[in-house]
A = this chain, B = another copy of it.
Amino acid sequence: MQQIGRQARAASRIIATANRGQKDRALEAIAQQLESNVAALVSANAKDLAAGKEKGLEAALLDRLALTESGVAAMAEGCRQVASLADPVGEISDMSYRPSGIQLGKMRVPLGVIGIVYESRPNVTVDAAILCLKSGNATILRGGSEAIHSNQAIASCIAAGLSDVGLPEHVVQVIDTTDRQAVGELITMPEYVDVIVPRGGKGLIERISRDASVPVIKHLDGICHVYIDKEAEFDKAMAIAINSKTHRYGVCNAMETLLVHESRAQEILPPLCEQYREHGVELRGCEKTAAITDVVPATEDDWSTEYLAPILSIRVVDDFNHALDHIAQYSSGHTESIVSENYTTNRAFIQRVDSSSVMVNASTRFADGFEYGLGAEIGISTDKLHARGPVGLEGLTSQKYVVYGNGHIRK
């Protein structure tokens, strides 16, 4: 691992100053390598799938592990999309003269070496590598052992693409070991790794955050709320509550708890719950909800559970402050949305809810790198430091101060 770290550090110096043209040509070369090696990729993946079946992996895991021809085409397409994004590196902002006469600005620069630790999806290998590449960073990737053949086949394509345009292959290194110790070393080498981005389940992320001595950009729970206010417009409330829950279930920006102002519960809950039932959503509710419509009684645990499934907890709240209190107590700080026509209530919601995305009259499903125009995302940070919310290319960079003088000295 020390050797891999040293190689990454050396490669990071080169990729940090590569110009946009060269990085974009590398992305195109990687796309072409993936396309021309589609058969090899699918057959490497078949080995992983066979081994997975033998080991008795769950169907859902096998599904995530699978790489088809169209999956490879999507990875190549991803490379070309990232190539089309603006290069954040070198962007200078806030340039101005100070009273001393120096001219001061901030220049965006790569972070250096980014370690990615992830689970079974092999497409993460490409997704993460190309975002880091475009933002001028070297990457060390450590995927799940169950995807080892797929990841190595993908790594070969990336290495070949880098080499095609004269960039060092060590810009992207896929750790080819399946031993668990490698992760432990990767996340404790601050001299070689500048940040760790874990991608996977909560267990993985908590373990890495606990053990890492390198900073971690975390993507923890999405316990997202929609609050239907006293002054909500009925149609907007219905549309947003349905869309936030049922558009997709297994995603972090899906609503897990619906809060409804007591004065509107009788009117809104019966038709809304009817629609949820049509979508096959299991409903769990507080006592007041249960008095209005047929729900399973919600327990205390329900308020702090990320279902990632067609299950919804519903709570009738006394007023706006009760909704804020519930959110402050149970939200994971990912995304919350209010449905209201009241100017002052909406401003207070925006100001007082401390989540990475705070919305008015919009579905929580919009909290997403593509929807936010980042082009692509490496994750959605639930941290407050450095990067918060969807993390795109900019989140993989830092800024340094640049000073232009003409012989200026401090008096």
Interface residues of A (CB under 8 A from B): 13, 16-17, 90, 96, 98, 100, 102, 104, 107, 109, 111-112, 194-195, 210, 213, 215, 233, 235-236, 239-240, 242-244, 247, 328, 337, 350-352, 354-363, 365-367, 371-373, 383-386, 388-390, 398-410
Contact = CB atoms under 8 A, between A and B. Distances in A.
A409 B112 contact: no
Contact of A404 (B13, B362, B408): B362
Nearest to A388: B398
Nearest to A410: B365
B402 A239 contact: no
A403 B358 contact: yes
B104 A402 contact: no
Contact of A243 (B195, B360, B409): B409
4 closest cross-chain pairs (CB), A and B: A362-B405, A236-B407, A243-B409, A365-B410
Given A17-B351, A371-B98, A236 B406 contact: yes
Nearest to A357: B401
Given A233-B407, A354-B109, A401 B367 contact: yes
Nearest to A194: B384
A357 B17 contact: no
B354 A385 contact: no
Given A400-B357, A406-B361, A385 B233 contact: no
22 contacts: A13-B328, A17-B352, A98-B372, A102-B366, A102-B371, A104-B372, A239-B407, A247-B410, A356-B400, A357-B401, A357-B402, A358-B401, A358-B402, A359-B403, A363-B408, A366-B403, A371-B410, A385-B385, A385-B398, A388-B399, A388-B400, A389-B400
Given A100-B371, A357-B401, A401-B356, A366 B235 contact: no
A374 to B, nearest CB: 11
A39 B359 CA distance: 52
Contacts of A372: 98, 104, 401
Q: Is the interface of A mostly helix, strand, loop or mixed?
A: mixed
Contacts of A104: 372-373
A243 B354 CA distance: 46
B102 A373 contact: no
A360 B244 CA distance: 52
A270 B191 CA distance: 38
Contacts of A367: 401, 403
Given A104-B373, A215-B385, A359 B233 contact: no
A408 B361 contact: yes
Contacts of A399: 388
Contact of A405 (B242, B351, B360): B360
A386 B385 contact: yes
Contacts of A408: 240, 361-363, 366
Q: Among the interface residues A233, A360, A383, which one has the most CB atoms of the partner chain B within 10 A? A: A360
Q: Among the interface residues A362, A373, A404, which one has the most CB atoms of the partner chain B within 10 A? A: A362
Given A361-B405, A367-B401, 11 more contacts: A109-B354, A215-B383, A235-B407, A247-B409, A355-B400, A356-B401, A359-B405, A360-B403, A363-B405, A371-B410, A389-B401
Nearest to A253: B410
Contacts of A410: 243, 247, 363, 365-366, 371
